Structure 1
Amino acid sequence: MKNRYPTFTCVILFCLAFLDSYGQNTTLPPTLSSINIQEDFPGYLEVGDEGSPKEYTLAISFVRPMSPTGSFVQTTIRCRAVCVFNGSETVISSVATYSSNDFQGAFLDKTLKIQIPASATDSQVFLKWEYYIFENNEYSVGTLSSTFFSTQPSEDPGGPSGPEERTIPKVWEDLAFSILDNLSSTDFFQQTRFWPSNRAPILREGQSYSSRNNQYTFKMQTDGNLVLYRNSDNVALWASTSGGPIVNGTYEFWWEETGEMVIYRVREDGMKVKIWSSSTYVDPNSDMGINAKYGEFLIQNDGNCGMYFRQTPNRAHVLPFRTQTYDGTVSPEFGVLR
């Protein structure tokens, strides 16, 4: 009787060789795991002066997959920072290309110098990247990062220099929890923040803001739900509970200049349907109601997200509109800000 073991062994070796070849020759896409700004900034990226752009350092991290046999796949990534305004992109960095040799095992951690020109107010800064598809001898379609950074507004709501003085809307003053003084001696300006704007949404579906320490992410999901995640274990700490079945159209999260946060479903015909509100609307005709557009919303390093009104550069009212997620704990109330 013939020994069949050699044939069986050859089949196993052939399969392993095929899988290894598949892992090396079939391109599996890498993942952009995080981007962040290394320098301190007042919640938005300041623009430069004419002829002298403001420079920042963008820290980027990628993860590459493994082949079926457990080896890392061959990976080449090309990326650059872009400034986006009204759908138009401007490249604000050099184009960086990284290969498998630049990875440390599964991980790639690099920095990219970006330059914000004086003309880049009211914009958003993204990382745009693509990976090389070896079997096609071409790069993939460029992808914008879901995380982005807003640039300085043309009508500055107040960075660290802030307004000389603004009067809080009366309805907010009556509701305010407390007043914070001497902000410059605290970490108030070391938090991710955004302001009301009628010019553009805060987040479109798939986009997110992260806390400055990168431990928490505020994301507008493709199902219409606005969710605050704890990044360490991807636990949802708070959500707008506006998610539902996938329908035609897209979702946008706005903070309108009336002080109201709103999620809209944008239908294919362009019509907007309101599906969630923060119930923080201020009548512009009420006592100082016009100043609701100067509110500030902070995604804090302690896991809480909340609304503030800065009366002077160094003084802010704490408003009762929060996710109640202090220290990364799950909120007792989803769907509302209290």
Structure 2
Amino acid sequence: MSSGQSSHPFATRFSSSGTPGAALEDDLRTYLEDLYREKLYERLSAGYPGRDVVFNLLLFYADTAQTLFWKQDDHYDEALRAFSVLVGHIAETELDLDDLFYVFDIIEGFFDYEQEGDGPDHLPWLRQSIQALSDLFQEERYRKAIEDALDDKSRADFVYLISIAGWFYGADEFDLYMSFASKHYPELALSNARYWLLNMSDKQCQRFIAWARSCLPPEKLSGPLSRTQEYTKTQKAILDVVISDRVHILRNSQDRRDFMAWGLRAADTFMAAKAAYMLEDVPVADWPAGSQVIVEELFSLMQPHWLSYKGPRGKGAYVRSKVRLGELLEKVKGTDS
């Protein structure tokens, strides 16, 4: 779909009309007032407004869906009524792959925060419109476009295709992500780790760990530890994900020990510190040789205000990094006494 702006009053980009530094809801209110002034609902109801307008409003609702759908605000009422009309116009417009991504953003914006019996009063009557958008992905032309695009795993937008394929067609998202990570864009795939690594089966976990190991230097698993290793971007991404979500990913003691050793060898201070925090769960007697020296070095490098996240994702809290490292050193002193 064309991304050019026309002179139509509904073709002004939401992203270009806001005030720098303003909150999203403030910009949203201002933008909606402009649309309402031009009689948004009435003009959309009068007939097809043109491809540029459909494209622009599709982007607008994709950007703001979570706020419009999930916040009870009378000021959004006309926008929500107009959305239902817009859905009909979207259905009669020939969409390209990028357009389908925005349609999917709207659908996700509706479902991502849905809770049974909870939410604004308008949610129930929005369902029909959301279902109509969902039905588009079952049309043969769009399904084929997505399936054809999935054959090209070198696409930088492959992660968006994975989400759509998993949501609507029941595709194996783990397999698609693994293919994407191992062959083309590992850092991009790993940036979405929470979508495909946290609920792995044991077999999937073994496959992921085998790939991760193949990317890291095996010679760094022997000998005393020292913080001399400069890792590549891919290696850093792997270590960051694995160490940060070790509770879910590192399921046996050998994997925990090896990835901790790789992390502790990192020249990067924060990567090494993340690995050092793994020592919190290890008796001092079982620390790898050289660990104490590294903890002491990291303790001296840490600024008092630097923080780290301690605990399970979403259930932990930020604590001072220097305090955590200091507690590890106290743990060592306790075993010496």
Structure richer in strand, relative to its length: 1
- TM-score calculated relative to the size of structure 1: 0.29
Structure richer in helix, relative to its length: 2
Structure number with bigger Rg: 2
- By relative contact order (CA 8 Å, sep 6+), the higher-ranking structure is 1
